[in-house]
Amino acid sequence: MRKLALNDEILLSIQQPARYIGGEVNTVMKDSAKADIRFAMCFPDV
């Protein structure tokens, strides 16, 4: 799997962050059935 660095070009192209809810750059997908702990970080759009 190829990892991409988050750079200014990507950051400046984001218009509505709430759209990006899966498949983002550098996202790690793990099997949730094997996870010992689950949590969510939420940031409200202003």
Per-residue pLDDT of the chain (46 residues; tens, 9 = 90+): 566 677 788 778 877 766 667 767 777 778 888 888 888 888 876 5
pLDDT on residue 20: 61
Rounded-to-integer distance, Cα 41 and Cα 28, Å: 15
pLDDT on residue 1: 56
Rounded-to-integer distance, Cα 9 and Cα 6, Å: 8
Residue among 10, 45, 39 nearest 25 (CA)? 10
pLDDT on residue 33: 87
In angstroms, the Cα distances linking 22 to 19, 29 are 9, 10
pTM of the model: 0.27
pLDDT on residue 4: 66
